Each structure stands twice: as structure tokens, then as C-alpha cells.
Amino acid sequence: MRRRSNCYLLLTGALLLLMALAFGHASMVRADNTQVFQRRAELVQSLGLTDLCLFTDARYCRHPSMADRNTAFQDNPMSFEHFPSGSLFMPPPHLKERTDEVD
Amino acid sequence: MRWIEKQRNILDFTLGSLLRRRGKSLALLIVYSLVIFMLASVIFFTHAIKKEAAVVLEGAPEMIVQRLIAGRHDLIPKSYADTIREIKGVYAVNGRLWGYYYDPTNGANYTLMVDSDLNDTAGSIVIGKGVARNLPGDNYGAIPLKASDGSYLFLKVGGILPAESELVSADLILMSEKDFRLMFGIPDEYVTDITLQVRNPKEYTTVATKISQLLPDSRPILKEEILRTYDAVFDWRAGILIVILLGSILAFLILAWDRSAGLSVEEKHETGILKALGWETSDILLMKFWEGVAISLTSFLVGILAAYVHVFFFASGLFEPVLKGWSVLYPEFRLTPFIDGYQVATLFLLTVVPFTIATIIPAWRTATIDPDTMMRT
Amino acid sequence: MIELKDVRKVYNAGKPSEFVALDGIDLSLEAGRVTVLKGPSGSGKTTLLSLLGCMARPTAGRIHVFGREITSLPERFLTEVRRKTFGFIFQQFQLIKGMTAIENVMIPAYPSGERRAELKARAEKLLEMLNLSHRAEANAEWLSGGEAQRVAIARALINNPAVIIADEPTAHLDTKLAREFMEIIENLNGGGMTVLIASHDPLIHESPGVDHVVTLKDGRIVSQGAFQCS
């Protein structure tokens, strides 16, 4: 009769090992990608880019950091979304927090 | 040693007990794992995106000055750059030319941008991988772009930006300044916005204030604000994240409530037998503890591992329909695994611990049952 | 060995459903004997067994087990005394369904922290003694009445108790199996085991292996066999 606790402890041990491997894998990939990050950062610097290309359905979704308060059909960053992507993220903090002095 | 053997003996019994209720135990395990999987996937994805943004956008311009008219972006005169250059501590003041182009043939939005390296090769463009994917065939040749005057500019694809940069360049079309101005009909004395650098980083806000004062219709944006934008992206307090979060929390609460609602008749009877056979109250509670741990720890580990594979090997495929929205052009990228151990530990404490407690507590009353009762059953 | 002095047991004291199960019980049980408690339903047999086996506490009076007073022992110590001294055979055996016969036998010893291999060996030996080795891996719900009873006996013996307590052990068995049960009890008693049985069954009362018979009625002892009493 195979002992149940042995099976369970083996399974848990295997899962924990996999988790440790995942963390190890993450660490390895991060180290491997250092060059990639550098090349990306260089491209960003040379072109003067400001945003990630995550959402391309609307201007304020494509360049949230550059968005103005009054994109077409929108009254303010807190108004209802017209594009699905806009519901995924908050308006940039500087649009909500900016004081009149700098705005 | 005796203590370890006792734990193992009780664990044996507990696992047998769970196997006797195979269907229910399996269903619980699956649902719990799914909840953890959802939560962990969201945590991994958002954390990785934020970290990538922080690393990659370090190269972003230190300050960008936009012009606003009636609250909307407008082109900014090049003469503004001259005014900005006069400010002490400011250098490398340059105009940027960029904009959006909607391609009606495939419904995609592109970001068009001037790359000064292409100024000597008017008529030639460099495109992002995402743009290339949206074009028919492999031999791209010349792409027709409709200009503001209704005519078509046929621009030859001279190169494709590397796939590894898709996260920042998937929708880019880089062109010469001449072609850009021709496309959009932008006069020579205007640019889209102005970038600049400041010698002393502590002077950013001061310089921004000065620019606002000197050019009242302008709006400076600091790099720090650009980076904070992506810290706020996928903030847990908003949007789809809070929907997923609330859904997952609700599912989890239902699970825990089901556990804490009390033992079934069968479970109570079993507990009574154990008490009559000489098990102490603490032994019964220990059994319940192992029951909670067996389910919640296994589910947690399975959920976390599945989430890791989902986000970092399958590029969050399940989230793609949500993230894509109405975008026709969607970048293909594999996120670098940035994992916040603190968040994983928090998820553990917020799920495994309460679930285990919810398993032990309802057993308390039954565990203190008078064994005499069993004699009379 | 086990001594009860002026023991009284009241259920639901102070409530309208108050019920005096036992009153004024004075009883001494010697080691190595087979004692039978008999009496009609509601006479207090099961309650007396519970008190003797440290499964319940008396409302009044004192109980001594092997010279140690257990009346006011904390629950933890009482449980330890119960586990080490007594082995129980319940009226409907109360085997756990879904577990094998051998697993059922081992259950009472799990909390002791004994090594499983040793525990299993002991359980196998007990099942062999009771001619049940071939059914060790059968699930409890697949056992016949007689087999279930023998598993219950083996379970009662796993912790090497000094006393076996059986509550109506033959209530669901035919005459043949009832006789087999008494044969097993007599064998155990022959090895020095003290046995306490509560039963209606005349077959048990009249069994040659029984040393003492205590008759109860309405919670009181009305007559006793050949053992010390006051």
C-alpha cells in the first residue's frame, strides 16, 4: 500500500521545485535580456519615444503619457470610455494631479 | 521524530478522507487553482509590463513641451524652441514630428514619425514588425499612404525594425521630414512637440514652470511623469483589473464560506468516531489543518505555475482578446519575467491562510463533541 | 482495578428534559474478568459503560482507574487514559466507510506518533489472529457482519489496552456469529484481558466465559454476580 502522505509530499515537493525553477528561469531570462533592453532603450532614445505600443485603437490609448484632457468625444479622463483599451488603465497621474501653475 | 510521524499519520488519514469525497475535493481544487491562476496571471502581467516600461523608457526624452489650443493638442511653432533655449540649464532642444495615420484597407492605426537618419533618403521608410504583419505578402515594395491633400505617397520599405523592439515600435512608420510634412501638410515652421534636456535634474520642475510662464499655451511633460504613467497603467484600483480582482475575490470568498458553513453529516459522524476512538480535540483540528493545507497549498502552487507559463511562455494568450480591444495592430512580444516575490507572498497569505482557517473553525464545535455521544449513536 | 463510588449521572441538568441516567452506583471491577452489564433499555447500561471507559464524566461521585482518580482530570489526560487503557467496540461497529479493514484497525493509534511500518505490522498480526488477513485490503463497506465485527475487535486491540468495552456487540449478528464473538472474547480473556460487555443477549449472559453479571434497572444496580461490591 503506497503511503498517501508520501505521494502528497512528493507532489508538493515537485511543485515547489518547479516554482524554484520558475524563479531561476526568470532570473536567467532577465540576465539574458539585458542586451535586448539596452537596444530597446537606445531605440527609444534615438527616436525620442515616450510610450509602449500596447494599444493602438485610439490616440490616447497609444500614447497615454502624451494624451491631452480633451481627446475627441471625451470630456475628461474620468468620462466614460469609448474604446475598450481605455478601460484597462487609469489616466496618467499627471493629468489628474497637475496644478494650475504648471498646466 | 514522533511528532513528525504523528503529522504523517494524520496526513495519511486526511488525504484518505479527501479521496473518499473525490468529486467534491477535485472540484474544489480546480476552482481554487483557477482563482489563483487568474489573480497570479494579472499580477505577473502587470508587474512585468511596469518593469519593462521602467527599463525601456529610461531613454525617453527628459522633457517634452506640447502646445494646447482650446484644451487640445496643436502644432507648436519652432520659434518656441528658441525661447526655451534661452532658459538657463536647458540644452539639446529639438522639435519632434510625429502623428497618426489610419489605414482604411485594414483598419489599423499607425504612428508616423520622423527619423533624422532618413532625411537623406526621402521616399524610403522603415516600418515596425506589426505594420509589416498587416501588409499583404512578404515583399513589401512601396506602400501607398494617403496625404492630406488626397494624393498618394508611395513610400518604399527600406527596412523593418527588429522584432525584439515590438513593445515600443510595432506600429511605427519612420520617414524623412520631407515626406512627413508632405503627408500631413505641416508647414516648415511647425513641429508636433519639442524635446529638451536639463543639465541639473533637480531643476526639472523649475524649468517646466518657467516654460509654462514664458509660453502660456504650452504644457511641459516630464520624463518622471511618463514613467509614472506606466506605474499607473493596470493600477489595481481601476478598469478591467478591478473587475478580475473582484470576480476572483468573490469566487474565493464563496469557496471559503462553503468551507466555514460547517461540516456535512458524514464529516460530523466521522469526527465523532475519531473522538470515541481516542483522538483528542487537537488531533481533530490538526486533521482539519492538514485538509486545508492540502487543498490550498496544492491549488496555490498549481495556480502560480500555470500563471507563470501563461504569462511568460504563452504571452498571456487568455488576456489577448481583452488587451487587444479594437486594435487591429497588436504587438507580438514575450514579456521578460519580472516577478515580485512580495506580491506572490501576499497572494499566499491572502488565500492559503484564510482558507485553512476557514477549514479549521467550523470543525471546532464538532471536535469538542462528547465521545459519549458516539456510544449512543 | 476500576472503582466507582456513589456515582450519579444526570443529563440536561436544570432543564425540563432533565434525566437521571444513573444514581448511587457503587461498583468494583477486578482485572482479568469478563463482566456483563444487563438490564432493559434505558436502565443505564450504555451510560455506565461510558463512565467506566472515561467517555463521559459523572455528575457526582468518584471513579478510580488503576488507582488513579479520573473524575476531575482535564480532557487531554482523560483522552490519554482512555486511549491507553480501553479499547471500544461500538454497537454498530462504526467502521469508517471508504477505508480498508487494516486502515480502520490502525486509526486509534495514528495520534500516538508511532512509525507506520510498526503500526501496520501490529494491525496485520491482529487481523491474522482473528482470521481476517485475506480481507485486510477490503473496504469496510464490503465486509460481512462477522468480518466487520472482527475488524472492530482488532481496532479495539491496536493500542494494547488493558480493558475491552463492548456495547451490544451481538445486536446485529446471528447466533453463530454471536457464539464466535464470545469465543474470541474468551480467548482474549484467557490472555489476561479484562472485558466489559453491555448486552441484552441471553447468549452472552449465559456464556460460560462470563465471570460476573451486573443487573441494572432505572439507573440503579439491582443485583450483581460474584465480584466485590458494596
- According to the model, what pLDDT value does residue A6 have? 93
Which residue type, as a one-letter code, is found at position B282? S
Q: Cβ–Cβ of B238/A90 closer than 8 Å?
A: yes
CATH of the domain at C121: 3.40.50.300
Q: Cβ–Cβ of C113/B2 closer than 8 Å?
A: yes
C-alpha distance from A93 to closest chain C C-alpha (Å): 59
Q: Cβ–Cβ of A1/C137 closer than 8 Å?
A: yes
* Residue with grid cell 472485558, as numbered in its chain: C195
Question: Which partners does chain B have (≥3 C-beta pairs < 8 Å)?
Answer: A, C
Chain A residues whose CB is inside 8 A of the C116 CB are 3
Q: Cβ–Cβ of A5/B301 closer than 8 Å?
A: no
Q: Please report, in tens digits, the pLDDT of each residue of chain B (377 residues total).
A: 889 999 999 999 999 999 988 888 898 899 889 989 988 998 898 889 888 888 888 888 899 999 988 878 889 999 999 999 999 999 899 999 999 998 888 888 899 999 988 888 888 999 999 898 888 766 667 888 888 888 988 999 989 999 888 888 999 999 999 999 999 999 999 999 999 999 888 889 899 999 999 999 999 999 888 888 877 776 665 566 667 777 777 877 777 777 766 667 777 888 888 888 888 889 999 999 999 999 999 999 999 999 999 999 998 888 877 776 667 787 877 889 988 888 889 889 888 888 888 888 878 877 777 777 766 65
User: Domain residues for C135?
Assistant: 2-224
Q: Is residue C162 part of a domain?
A: yes
Question: Closest-CA residue in chain A for C103?
Answer: A1
Ranges of residues in chain C with a pLDDT under 50 are: 227-230
Chain C residues whose CB is inside 8 A of the A3 CB are 116
C-alpha distance from B375 to closest chain C C-alpha (Å): 7
Check if A102 contacts C (Cβ < 8 Å). Answer: no
ipTM: 0.86
Q: Is B293 helix (H, G, I), strand (E, B) or coil?
A: helix
C-alpha distance from B375 to closest chain A C-alpha (Å): 30
Question: Closest-CA residue in chain C for A3?
Answer: C116
Instruction: Report chain B residues touching chain C, CB-CB < 8 A.
Output: 1-6, 8-10, 12-13, 16, 19-20, 270, 273-274, 276-283, 370-372, 374-377
Q: Is residue C42 part of a domain?
A: yes
- According to the model, what pLDDT value does residue B210 have? 93
- The residue among B9, B19, B274 with the most chain C CBs within 10 A of its CB, best to mutate, is B9
Q: Are B19 and C130 in contact (CB under 8 A)?
A: no
The structural domains of chain A, with segments of one domain joined by +, span: 4-47, 59-97
C-alpha distance from A5 to closest chain C C-alpha (Å): 11
C-alpha distance from C160 to closest chain B C-alpha (Å): 13
Question: Closest-CA residue in chain A for C136?
Answer: A1
Which residue type, as a one-letter code, is found at position A91? P
- According to the model, what pLDDT value does residue A69 have? 63
- According to the model, what pLDDT value does residue B33 have? 93
- According to the model, what pLDDT value does residue B376 have? 63
Domain count, chain C: 1
Question: Closest-CA residue in chain C for A6?
Answer: C116
Residue C118 CB: number of other CB atoms within 10 A?
11
Which residue type, as a one-letter code, is found at position B329? L
C-alpha distance from A4 to closest chain C C-alpha (Å): 12
Inform me whether the pLDDT recorded for A82 exceeds 70: no
The pLDDT-based confidence of A102 (bands split at 50, 70, 90) is very low
Chain B residues whose CB is inside 8 A of the A23 CB are 339, 341
Q: Cβ–Cβ of B278/C114 closer than 8 Å?
A: no
Q: Is residue C229 part of a domain?
A: no
Structure confidence by residue, pLDDT tens digits, C141-165: 999 988 999 999 999 999 999 999 9
DSSP output for C106-168: HGGGGGGT--HHHHHHHHHHHHHHTT-GGGTTSBGGGS-HHHHHHHHHHHHHTT--SEEEEES
Q: Is B162 helix (H, G, I), strand (E, B) or coil?
A: coil
- According to the model, what pLDDT value does residue C120 have? 94
Q: Is residue C230 part of a domain?
A: no
Q: Are B12 and A4 in contact (CB under 8 A)?
A: yes
* Pairing mode of beta strands B190-191, B76-77: antiparallel
CB contacts < 8 A (A, B): 232
- According to the model, what pLDDT value does residue C230 have? 36
Inform me whether the pLDDT recorded for A90 exceeds 70: no
Check if B209 contacts A (Cβ < 8 Å). Answer: yes
Question: Closest-CA residue in chain B for A1?
Answer: B12
Q: Cβ–Cβ of A3/C116 closer than 8 Å?
A: yes
Q: Is residue C52 part of a domain?
A: yes
Structure confidence by residue, pLDDT tens digits, A23-77: 999 999 999 999 988 898 899 999 889 888 888 877 777 888 887 766 645 555 5
Q: Cβ–Cβ of A3/C137 closer than 8 Å?
A: no
- According to the model, what pLDDT value does residue B267 have? 79
Check if B78 contacts A (Cβ < 8 Å). Answer: no
Q: Which residues of B207-232 are buried (b: 16+ CB within 10 A; e: fewer)?
A: bbebbbeebeebbbbbbebbbbbbeb
Q: Is A85 helix (H, G, I), strand (E, B) or coil?
A: helix
* Pairing mode of beta strands B72-74, B76-77: unpaired
